[in-house]
Structures are given as C-alpha cells and as structure tokens.
Amino acid sequence: MTTTRSILPCLAVTMLLVRCFGTIVVPPVTITGQKTATERQIIGEQTELEKDVWMISSAKTSEHAALDAKPKEIRNSMEQENANTYRAFLKFDLFSAHLAQLKKDRVVGETNKGFVANLLLENAEVPAEAKKKYDSELADEPDLGRPYRTLIQTVKEINEARVLAARGYVESQKRANKEFKATEKEILASQKNKYQQSALKGEMIQADDGSWAAKE
C-alpha cells in the first residue's frame, strides 16, 4: 500500500512555475511509490553527500514499508530522516539552475565550510557588470530587481538544502551506529572539497584563509 505516511523513498516533485522571486515557497513533500525522472536527474547532479543521503534512503524501501511495526523511536527517526532528505532534494531541484548562473556571473561562490556565499557581501572581486545587474538598490523594481531577488533566495535555499541533506545523513548514521558522533556542520565541512572540486573553471571558491579566487 502506498500512502504519504508509509514514507517510501521516492519523491513526487511539485514544481512551482513562477517568474518573479519573492513569492516562491518550497511546497510540502508528497511521498509516493514512484521515482520520477526529475529525481533520477537530481541524483546525477549532486555531490557525494547528497548522493549518499538519497541512496541510504532508497536502500531502505522494505524497512519503510514496515514502518508501523517499528518502535516509536526508530519510526520517528526514519520519518525525520526522510522529511529532511526529500525537502533537501526538492530545494536542489528548484534552485540548481539559478545557482549555476549566479556562479557563472561570479556573484556566488563556494565557501570553505561547505556553503555558498553572496560575494557582494564578501571580500571578493565581483565584475562591475555583475554589481550593476545584482544591485540591491533595484530590489523593489519588478523587472530590474529580479536578479537581486534571485541571488538572495537562491543562496538561502541552497544552503538550507545542504543543511537538510546533512541532517538526514546524520540521522540515518546515528540510527545505524550508536557511536556515530559527527555533527551537521562537520559533515558539511567534510564536503567542502567536493563542492569546490565540482566548481567550474572561473567560478569563485574560498581558500582556508578566507580569501576568494577564481578556480583555475
């Protein structure tokens, strides 16, 4: 039987078709028994942490099917893991294309802690044309302010997605191994190199000393 309560490891992604940022809301997750083409595409586009979170969840299909028979503590842990994981992938899917453009424009870069950063707020060199395009003074303009609003929301949503992915991973590992002690921040920090390695030539990455440079 397929129900939203059974928490089967697949996500029916409901895309929000909007043109102007500022009103985007990540929709509630609906769990189904089918894996969509979008989900398969997501797996191919994310870093090892994100792949691991998905694959760990997918490997537990039979476990999730018998969720009602599990002790309450385990059931709650599994439900929390899935809620975090699926919302993370939904955010990645909604904002990954915007992130790619923002990186190309050099207004967003990969930090040394596993997050992305708005480079207009960092001690980083941003092209004059990009500064003009993403000027915060234009934020309230319906059309001219769209790039800035896109920048702000994309950074927020991608960082939240990475935290959710790490949180789901930690939840899964703690359930499997009581000795697992790593925190979300530690998991994200461990992924820093992979995020930076996945950056394209010319995109901005942050060194351990906090300085920014274009990837060569």
Report which of residues 49 and 151 the model is more confident about.
Answer: 151
Q: Rounded to an integer, what distance in angstroms lies between the CA atom of residue 91 and that of residue 50?
A: 12
What are the phi and psi torsion angles at 156 (to 5°)? -60, -50
0.95 exceeded by pTM: no
> What are 52-89's pLDDT values in tens digits?
555 544 544 445 556 666 677 777 777 777 778 888 88
* Position 7 pLDDT exceeds 50: no
Q: Is 27 helix (H, G, I), strand (E, B) or coil?
A: coil
* Position 196 pLDDT exceeds 70: yes
Among 22-36, 63-77, 162-176, the range with the most confident prediction by mean pLDDT is 162-176
Both tokens of residue 65? 């099917």
Report which of residues 173 and 15 the model is more confident about.
Answer: 173
* Residue 204 banded pLDDT, cuts 50, 70, 90: very high
Q: Which amino acid is at 164?
A: L
Q: Rounded to an integer, what distance in angstroms lies between the CA atom of residue 6 and that of residue 75?
A: 10
Q: How far apart are the first and last CA of the chain?
A: 52
| Radius of gyration, CA atoms only, the chain | 19
Cα-Cα-Cα-Cα torsion 59, 49, 90, 183, nearest 10 degrees, comes to 100
Both tokens of residue 106? 């050099």
Contact 126, 119 (CB under 8 A): yes
Contact 89, 45 (CB under 8 A): no
